[in-house]
Structure 1
Amino acid sequence: MAAEVVRRGRVYRLLASVLPAVALAALVPAVATVASSDPGAALPDPAVVTPAPDGSRIAAVASGPGREVDVSVYSTAMAAVEVVKVLPAADGATAAPALYLLNGANGGLGDSSWTEKTDIATYFADQQVNVVVPMGGRGSYFADWRADDPVLGHQRWTTFLTRELPPLIDAAFHGSGAAAVAGISMAGTSVFQLALAAPGRYRGVGSYSGCAPTSDLTGQLFVDAVVARWAGNAANMWGPPGDPQWAAVDPYVHAEDLRGLALYVSAGTGVPGPLDTLAGPGIDGDPIKLVDQDVSGGFIEAIAGTCARRLQQRFADLGIPATFDLHPDGTHSWGYWQQELHNSWPLFRAALGE
């Protein structure tokens, strides 16, 4: 079913590029609703979810594994259909806040996503919160890029995630309007930037193994490396090195504007830890996977750990309350991120009023 949603997303992306919005809207009802595999779960009907004034709308809804709902959202800013995975709140008849979980630098491609690599489906099964996992955005920093990239294309993720998507999700899943956002790796930077771009949108921000500074030399080199990994050019995102936009979106520089949010930051040091064993999550007894996690994951986490400690000092200097969970070991890997989500959820749940 998920593959069908992705296929439809590609069709809508093509249609959006050649058809006017009115013509595309006329096609939506014909493919909008797919029956749920769970007879006890009613899928939201796209036809009754009012499109945004700019034309953004829910294009299709399909049931996924278990409680998962695959929502295809047409984004006017992106001129494309983006797939979002939703785990509805335990009580669908009662208003619920939303927890947005952002994937890392690969945008959740393959099986490297919150829904595939962690236990969120069971962990949140009895929680009154809509868990929302946007798919896509590899190498994008979930930013609004200043220019289209020859490889990564037209990126307007900040607009999509802060203005277009939340009202549609709340309308479709009985949302209360309260929200928190958390992300791993690349998205561990983006979550702060999204909060800065849309004051009041989120009550809580969680950064797991991220690197907040973007405008100093180290930060720029790190961002360049992440974007280049996917053959993109970061100059199309925030301009050439030294451009004022790099500082304008830097959470370290604008840390004061994060005051008042429920803030959670975690990272390791890159030294192999308790989950970096042949029996660890995702290793499956494969020594090659373990070596890659220890070497590549260790190197990246060492940088993330340094960034996290710099941010901790920055918050301390400004007197900004925040929770930091900084470990003496641990690599850049999903087992640790699942643990940190569990550890941070009580903080976000309280901030969301649950």
Structure 2
Amino acid sequence: MLKRAVLVSMAIVLPLGASVAGPVGTANAAFDPNFGFDFWVDSEMGPIKSRVFRAADGNTNRVVYALDGMRARDDLNGWEIETNVARALTAWNINVVMPVGGQSSFYLDWNAPSNFFGIDGASSTGSAGSSAVGSSAAGDNVAGKRNTYKWETFLTQHLPRELNNRLGFRSTRNGVFGLSMGGSAALALAGYYPQQFSFAGSYSGFLNTSAPGMREALRVAMISAGGFNIDSMAPPWGPQWLRMDPFVFAPQLRDNNTRLWIASGSAVPGGGDVNSALGIVQAVPLEALALANTRAFQVRMDSIGARNVHYDYPPTGVHNWRNWEDQVNRMLPDLSANIG
């Protein structure tokens, strides 16, 4: 039944050419340069910016990473552009780190720079910063095309080391959460780096990426979101591809006893979810696909006796920032109790 739901959802999504991880909805927050600050760290990809927001009480022990979606921009993280979660988190005395960039990366270490048969797959006139639904081709001068994405290394080595050295931030028992692409990435980071991450949250995540048809669905999404080639990320059905699938590494999440918050909307629009017919057509099937993936992951975790997960399925909600911001607020007490 779950596989059928996945395939039906993809049949709706793929003709649209919409990104499987492209957030739908309007901004409900304004960038405030006086609140967070830029934090640059060198990496194999070049200098990478994060935005840091300090806990209200000034502590350095409680830290959470907020991961973006597939259309991550190169100027600001979507969580800062579209939501007010940084203020909510810092009021709970949690330091917030928002990495910037990584469009279509899944926050992984890729095999090679993204190209199609040796040719860059995007027009140099495309905007890497576009968050609109539809194609947003990134030029060949961006990270991931001019060089190889190394996001996993950055998030688990370079960034925490510099946060510790320069700000005194604790680099163990951190939290991490993300939406869509960032949701599966958050679970992967927690699964493979349990000392660093004691808590992980996934909202509308694609948590069964090895299910039939999912690789091709993600292929279409990554072409739409920046013109990136999934084959440059990981070969099909090899160890590297399976390593990124939460459904596959679920036993590690159980054995680590990582506290997890797993959420997906029902794909039924609620009040204020969408403001156009196009938004409904795109946001509903995307969330239906995420819901099928998330339910499959829950079945998998239940089958192996995992008891370290909270599942949250609101009666309404589609693929948009309004619902992801609501999930952060719902998750806050659980996050606060399981980090630091």
| Equivalent of 1:324 in 308, 311, 329 | 311
Residue 235 of structure 1: aligned partner:
231
| Equivalent of 1:313 in 274, 299, 306 | 299
Counterparts of residues 255-266 of structure 1 (less than 5 Å): 255-259=250-254, 260-266=257-263
Aligned partners of 1:275 and 1:336 also within 8 Å: no
Counterpart-to-counterpart distance in 2, 1:181 and 1:203? 9
Structure 1 pair 131/320, CA: closer, same or farther in 2 (3 Å)?
A: same
Residue 189 of structure 1: aligned partner:
184
Residue 351 of structure 1: aligned partner:
338
Residue 123 of structure 1: aligned partner:
88
Residue 169 of structure 2: aligned partner:
175
Counterpart-to-counterpart distance in 1, 2:279 and 2:77? 14
**How big is each residue's C-alpha offset from its partner over 1:171-204, in whole Å with a ceiling of 9 and x where there is no partner?**
3333133311000011111111222332321000
Q: Identify the structure with the greater strand proportion.
A: 1
Counterpart-to-counterpart distance in 2, 1:228 and 1:140? 12
Query: Unpaired runs of 5+ in structure 2?
Result: 1-31, 121-143
Residue 23 of structure 1: aligned partner:
none
Counterpart-to-counterpart distance in 2, 1:232 and 1:308? 25
DSSP-derived class of the 1:203 partner: strand
Residue 21 of structure 2: aligned partner:
none
Percent of matched pairs sharing the same residue: 30
How big is the shift at 1:277?
5.2
Aligned partners of 1:293 and 1:332 also within 8 Å: no
Counterparts of residues 196-345 of structure 1 (less than 5 Å): 196-229=191-224, 230-239=226-235, 241-259=236-254, 260-276=257-273, 278=275, 290-321=276-307, 322-345=309-332
Aligned partners of 2:190 and 2:200 also within 8 Å: yes
Greater CA radius of gyration, 1 or 2?
1
Residue 140 of structure 2: aligned partner:
none
**How big is each residue's C-alpha offset from its partner over 1:130-177, in whole Å with a ceiling of 9 and x where there is no partner?**
100001000111110011113442200000011110121133333133
Counterpart-to-counterpart distance in 2, 1:216 and 1:342? 31
**How big is each residue's C-alpha offset from its partner over 1:227-246, in whole Å with a ceiling of 9 and x where there is no partner?**
2222111111111x333321
Residue 44 of structure 1: aligned partner:
none
What one-letter code is carried by the residue in structure 2 that aligns with 1:211?
A: F
**How big is each residue's C-alpha offset from its partner over 1:56-80, in whole Å with a ceiling of 9 and x where there is no partner?**
xxxxxxxx623211111111x32x0
Q: Normalising to structure 2: TM-score of the pair?
A: 0.76
Higher RCO (CA < 8 A, seq sep 6+): 2
| Equivalent of 1:67 in 35, 59, 65 | 35
Counterpart-to-counterpart distance in 1, 2:301 and 2:51? 33
How big is the shift at 1:127?
2.6
Counterpart-to-counterpart distance in 2, 1:337 and 1:308? 15
Counterpart-to-counterpart distance in 1, 2:285 and 2:248? 25
Tell me the C-alpha RMSD between the 2 structures. 2.0
| Equivalent of 2:66 in 92, 101, 111 | 101
Structure 1 residue 156 and structure 2 residue 150: aligned?
Answer: yes
Aligned partners of 2:264 and 2:314 also within 8 Å: yes
How big is the shift at 1:217?
2.1
Where has structure 1 moved over 4 Å in runs of 4 or more? 109-112
Query: Unpaired runs of 5+ in structure 1?
Result: 1-63, 279-289
Equivalent residues, number = 276
Counterpart-to-counterpart distance in 2, 1:309 and 1:121? 28
Residue 47 of structure 2: aligned partner:
81
DSSP-derived class of the 1:175 partner: coil
Counterpart-to-counterpart distance in 2, 1:116 and 1:338? 12
Structure 1 pair 90/217, CA: closer, same or farther in 2 (3 Å)?
A: same
Counterpart-to-counterpart distance in 1, 2:183 and 2:287? 12
DSSP-derived class of the 1:158 partner: helix
Structure 1 pair 295/105, CA: closer, same or farther in 2 (3 Å)?
A: same
